[in-house]
Amino acid sequence: MKKTLLALICVIFILPWNGQKAFGQEETNYKFTLKTNPLAAFAGPIWAAWIVPITGEYKVLFEAKTFKKQSLQVGASYLGPSVFVSALKSELGDSADVEVGVNGFRGQLWYKFFLTRDSDGPSGFYASPHFSFASARIENKDEPDDYVNAAKLNIHGVLGYQLITRGGFVLDIFTGLGFRDMTWDYAQEGSTDLDFGEGKGRVNVTFGLSFGYAF
């Protein structure tokens, strides 16, 4: 985790301030971006005991330039079983003690302030508040009354870099620090076979990557 975060920070800050020209980018009047990250299907926002990814995330991020060097970005996601959970279910087959179902959603919000001098946005270095809320229902399909509702709230301050190439390809990478609050609501207190750990709020480090197109 620490090595991954360090590498991410290095990528962000090693990129030159004139990165637009270095990557063959030209000043084009892009006002919108549309992005995703298929890798989020492997590990979404809801984890069990902070170790096992329960949810996979299938997301779309839409960004619109608002003012000079500013943009608003919103994200909407469907949360299903992670690739890990799906593979485990396939491996265990009928021998599994519990048939687990996962279903939920996530919403995200950024307001970006672009810092690169030779760009009016939405490209270059930026700083932004980041708000995220995810909710998922993890249930025992064999026992309809045996389920857990999970909710996760994130509030971060992030620093990132968004590259837009000459052809309109977008790469957005960021990291940040903030607060995370995780809660678990068990349908049957003390009687469920599904145990994902205690809810808690604490300081949290975040990082992310998405790509798509500008128009």
The pLDDT of 155-180, averaged and rounded, is 96
Q: Which of 44-58, 78-92, 108-122, 192-206 is most confident? A: 108-122
The full set of domains in the chain, from first to last, is 2-214 (2.40.160)
* pLDDT score of 16: 42
Q: Calculate the CA dihedral of residues 151, 86, 107, 120 and round it to 10 degrees.
A: 140
Mean pLDDT of 175-197: 74
Look at residue 161 in the predicted model and tell me its pLDDT.
98
Tens digits of residue pLDDT in 14-37: 444 444 444 444 456 899 999 999
User: For residue 20, which of 103, 96, 117 has the smallest C-alpha distance?
Assistant: 117
Q: Answer for the pair 182, 204: CB distance below 8 angstroms, yes or no.
A: no
The length of the chain in residues reads 215
State in Å, rounded, how far the first CA of the chain is from the last one: 34
Neighbours of 117 (CB within 10 A): 10
pLDDT of residue 91: 60
**In the chain, what percentage of residues exceed pLDDT 70?**
74
CB 197 within 8 A of CB 50: yes
pLDDT number for residue 17 = 40
| Low-confidence winner among 42-46, 66-70, 141-145, 146-150 (lowest mean pLDDT) | 141-145
C-alpha 178/C-alpha 33 separation (Å) is 25
DSSP per-residue string spanning the chain: -HHHHHHHHHHHHHS-TTHHHHTT-------EEEEE-GGGGTS-S-EETTTEE-EEEEEEEEEEE-STTEEEEEEEEEEEE-HHHHHHHHHHGGG-S--EEEEEEEEEEEEEEE--TT--SSSEEEEEEEEEEEEEEEEETT-TT-EEEEEEEEEEEEEEEEEE-TT-EEEEEEEEEEEEEEEEEESSTTT-S------EEEEEEEEEEEEEEE-
**Residue 61: is its pLDDT beyond 50?**
yes
pLDDT at residue 68, as a whole number = 92
Q: Tell me the pLDDT tens digit for each residue of 119-133.
A: 887 999 999 999 999
**Res 121: pLDDT:** 78
Q: Give me 165's structure tokens.
A: 């190439």
Mean pLDDT (the chain) is 82
Distance from C-alpha of 20 to C-alpha of 114, rounded to nearest angstrom = 13
Give pLDDT, residue 113: 97
User: pLDDT tens, 88-144?
Assistant: 766 655 555 667 789 999 999 999 999 988 888 799 999 999 999 999 998 887 777
